[in-house]
């Protein structure tokens, strides 16, 4: 009955079409109806007594986006409740997503590197992000996570926001794009300007992500001129 209804409906909507187009559409519908009927008739026999070849494992998980209350502010909810809930959940592959509505928090390099061979870069500022990452890792992994101790549960990092200066036409930013208040919400489109990378080789993008990963997993990072910036973090991350 379902194919008949679909064909009738299509006939009503194609009355104004030339005969050849209308016939082609109805013919296609007829073929699709036959295909659906044939698929529905396929039967699969399962031998439930056969030995298993592989065991599939699943895990409950959750994604944590960076919101104001993660920064211990008064907005959005109590921080203590967030930390306790995340710790007690016992989830695996917990996804941490530092997204773009709060670039002053989640983008350590809001400005392009300014280092020289004799002067370290001054554009790196991860003060707020360091605290949020520390709280998150403590809740998921437990004490000692920053010192490369074993993690109680697994973490899947999603480093989802790149600096705007990597995109054509996105830098310099118009005044007010990134508020001085790091937790002032400017909408989803304020910091998502630009589509094409300035360097289509993706090398600067990869180097930036490598600096962020090193900052949190290798005790610090080297800027684009080779100067070392220590962090003291040695977290264990997996990447999703």
What are the pLDDT digits (tens) for 100-117? 999 999 999 999 999 999
Residue 57 resides in a domain: no
CA–CA separation, 136 and 64 (whole Å): 9
Regions of the chain short of the pLDDT cut 70: 1-39, 239-240
Residue 114 resides in a domain: yes
Residue 58 resides in a domain: no
Question: What is the model's pLDDT at position 148?
Answer: 79
Question: What is the model's pLDDT at position 237?
Answer: 85
Token digits of residue 64: 């944590």
Tell me the three state secondary structure of residue 63.
Answer: strand
Contact 229, 149 (CB under 8 A): no
CA–CA separation, 18 and 14 (whole Å): 9
Tens-place pLDDT, residues 203-216: 999 999 999 999 99
7 and 87 together in one domain = no
135 and 224 together in one domain = yes
Residue 48 resides in a domain: no
Domain range for 181: 63-239
68 and 33 together in one domain = no
113 and 31 together in one domain = no
Predicted TM-score of the model (pTM): 0.75
How many other CB atoms sit within 10 Å of the CB of residue 230? Answer: 9
CA–CA separation, 155 and 213 (whole Å): 13
Question: What is the model's pLDDT at position 39?
Answer: 56
Q: In angstroms, what CA-CA distances link 15 with 9, 21, 65, 116, 179?
A: 10, 10, 51, 72, 57
């Amino acid at each position: 009955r379902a194919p008949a209804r679909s064909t009738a409906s299509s006939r009503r909507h194609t009355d104004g079409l030339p005969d050849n187009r209308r016939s082609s559409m109805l013919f296609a519908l007829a073929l699709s109806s036959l295909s659906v009927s044939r698929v529905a008739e396929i039967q699969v026999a399962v031998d439930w007594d056969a030995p298993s070849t592989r065991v599939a494992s699943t895990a409950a998980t959750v994604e944590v986006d960076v919101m104001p209350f993660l920064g211990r502010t008064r907005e959005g909810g109590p921080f203590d409740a967030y930390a306790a809930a995340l710790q007690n959940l016992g989830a695996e592959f917990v996804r941490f997503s530092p997204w773009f509505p709060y670039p002053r928090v989640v983008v350590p390099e809001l400005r392009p590197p300014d280092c020289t061979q004799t002067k370290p870069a001054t554009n790196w500022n991860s003060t707020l992000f360091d605290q949020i990452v520390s709280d998150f890792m403590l809740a998921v992994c437990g004490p000692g996570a920053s010192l490369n101790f074993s993690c109680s549960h697994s973490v899947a990092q999603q480093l989802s926001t790149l600096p705007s200066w990597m995109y054509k036409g996105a830098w310099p930013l118009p005044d007010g794009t990134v508020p001085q208040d790091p937790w002032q919400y400017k909408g989803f489109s304020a910091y998502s300007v630009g589509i094409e990378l300035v360097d289509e080789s993706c090398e600067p993008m990869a180097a930036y992500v490598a600096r962020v990963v090193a900052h949190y997993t290798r005790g610090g990072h080297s800027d684009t001129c080779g100067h070392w910036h220590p962090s003291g973090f040695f977290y264990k991350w997996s990447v999703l």
